[in-house]
A = this chain, B = another copy of it.
Amino acid sequence: MLEWDAVIVGAGILGLSTAYHIKLSHPDQRILVVDKFNAAGQASTAKSASAFRCLFSSYTNYVLADSSIEFYRHLQEDLNVDLKLQWTGYLWLLNEADCDEVLPILRDLSKKDFEYNEYDEEELAQRLFMRTNLTNDEEAQMMKLGNVLKGIFIPKAGVVDADCLVKFYEEEFLRLGGEIKYGVKVENVVVEPCESLGIPGEPYFWQDSRIAGLNTSNGFIKAKKTILAAGAWIPQLLDAVGIECFIKPKKRQLFTIPAKDAELKQLLFTKGFNSVGCLPFTILPSPRILIRPFPNEGVFWLGYADNFPRAFKIEDDPQPEKNFYQYGIYQVLMKYFPQFKDCRPTSAFSGLYEINTLDGQPVIFEENDLIVVGGASGSGIMKADAIGRIATAIYNDEEYALLYGNRKFKVSDLGLKKRHVEQEKLLI
């Protein structure tokens, strides 16, 4: 039976970045990617807001995002790969409590060359035609919505087309001779004894054992290394063999609102923040509802990453909830941006975050010939290139990965045994 050098589960952004970097590092090895869908990036990758920022308090988060984004910039600007990368910037609107929480951290970061601008209430009201003072709005008070005191603009941030990025890694991987089988559903990872004795039911606990591949809808796939980059589906594959990865799935939703009238068009194409000539990716004061501009399509995407009591739950076809927009997002949104009054989504979509419940940062480790690449917790696209390089370093048994821009990264920092990451203090 053919034994692949590596089989990678998941043709999402993390799986394909990993596959590409491994294949680049081993042009002669047989590397296979499998995915249950019939094309690349069809699960959670396709459901992402596809935005990026270099604003993180944790050095790990920062270097993963910054080096990946520099790589994407290089692809688009130097190599003419169209990723639809747009430097819209992030505009983070802060109420009083947000200011107390966020401003000291930002001012600290600015000492390390991190760039941002502050806008005051009046300027925001003028530029965005928004309501910053909700003091006399009884409903807003009942909803405990605070006044906007400040806006923080981060220029090194923007949006990208997830599909273009996925296509880049897929095409390059295939061009290098990598193989992909679509429409293959993984049933379970397969455990075998390192030295088989032919006893029924082996391996027993007194034997050394390892992951030898995958049972799939297409039969057994044997591999020297099995790499799980299956996002929110990783924990169920690992639970079956008793390996903890600290990843849990949680549904996220995005709602599309077209800029149908003059007021909304004006907002979408707000000038003065960026060279795109559009509204930056905007975060409202707590609860931190996000407005993702999509100027090319003339729409906004609206979302909110709710925690308690949103279930940790795996769903093969997660659905957006009408009430989540209607009674949730809309009620908050239209208090700050009355332009959205009476707007209803024309479409909506829903994917799964693969949340690392330890610290919200990626989890990359090897155990028994199984490599886990996941836990990106909603920032997988903006960190995908660095994550693929780190997974490749683990595959190569290297202590350090070299990220784009020649930045060295200690791979054990994202493992479980010697994990070393700072707690992220800037949660959007």
What's the minimum C-beta distance from A191 to chain B, rounded to whole angstroms? 4
Docked Cα-Cα span, A35 to B367, in Å, equals 38
Complex interface bits, A140-162 against B, C-beta within 8 A gives 1, otherwise 0: 00111100000000000000000
A104: which B residues are within 8 A, CB to CB?
none
Q: Cβ of B308 and Cβ of A243 under 8 Å apart?
A: yes
Q: Cβ of A248 and Cβ of B241 under 8 Å apart?
A: no
- Residue among B197, B240, B357 making CB contact with A142, cutoff 8 Å: B197
Given contacts A144-B206, A206-B332, contact A200 B327 (CB under 8 A): yes
Interface presence of A263 (CB below 8 A): no
Q: Cβ of A307 and Cβ of B206 under 8 Å apart?
A: no
Q: Which of A308-333 contact B (CB under 8 A)?
A: 308-313, 323, 327-328, 331-332
Interface presence of A242 (CB below 8 A): yes
Q: Cβ of A368 and Cβ of B244 under 8 Å apart?
A: no
Q: Cβ of B191 and Cβ of A309 under 8 Å apart?
A: yes
Q: Cβ of B312 and Cβ of A357 under 8 Å apart?
A: no
Q: Cβ of B199 and Cβ of A327 under 8 Å apart?
A: yes
Docked Cα-Cα span, A205 to B321, in Å, equals 13
Q: Which of A194-212 contact B (CB under 8 A)?
A: 197, 199-209
Closest partner residue, chain B, to A205 (CB atom):
B306
Q: Which of A62-119 contact B (CB under 8 A)?
A: none
Q: Cβ of B242 and Cβ of A308 under 8 Å apart?
A: yes
Q: Cβ of B242 and Cβ of A327 under 8 Å apart?
A: no
A209: which B residues are within 8 A, CB to CB?
308-309
Q: Cβ of A206 and Cβ of B287 under 8 Å apart?
A: yes
Docked Cα-Cα span, A203 to B309, in Å, equals 9
Interface presence of A239 (CB below 8 A): yes
Interface presence of A409 (CB below 8 A): no
Q: Cβ of A327 and Cβ of B201 under 8 Å apart?
A: yes
Given contacts A143-B206, A205-B304, A244-B357, contact A311 B239 (CB under 8 A): yes
A328: which B residues are within 8 A, CB to CB?
204-206
Interface presence of A250 (CB below 8 A): yes
Q: Cβ of B204 and Cβ of A312 under 8 Å apart?
A: no
Docked Cα-Cα span, A239 to B206, in Å, equals 34
Docked Cα-Cα span, A94 to B328, in Å, equals 61
Q: Cβ of B248 and Cβ of A308 under 8 Å apart?
A: no
- Residue among B204, B241, B250, B357 making CB contact with A327, cutoff 8 Å: B204
A200: which B residues are within 8 A, CB to CB?
323, 327
- Residue among B201, B239, B310, B368 making CB contact with A242, cutoff 8 Å: B310
A201: which B residues are within 8 A, CB to CB?
323, 327
Q: Which of A231-257 contact B (CB under 8 A)?
A: 239-244, 246, 248, 250
A242: which B residues are within 8 A, CB to CB?
250, 307-312
Please name 8 pairs of A and B residues whose Cβ atoms are closer than 8 Å in the assembled complex, sorted by A. Answer: A142-B197, A205-B306, A206-B331, A209-B308, A239-B311, A239-B313, A242-B308, A242-B312
Task: Give the B-binding residues of A (Cβ under 8 A).
Answer: 142-145, 191, 197, 199-209, 239-244, 246, 248, 250, 287, 304, 306-313, 323, 327-328, 331-332, 357, 367-368
Extra 17 A-B pairs, beta carbons < 8 Å, given A204-B327, A246-B246: A143-B206, A199-B327, A200-B327, A201-B323, A201-B327, A202-B327, A203-B309, A204-B328, A205-B328, A206-B328, A206-B331, A239-B248, A241-B309, A242-B310, A243-B309, A244-B312, A308-B368
The 4 closest A-B pairs by CB, nearest first: A241-B309, A244-B357, A239-B312, A205-B306
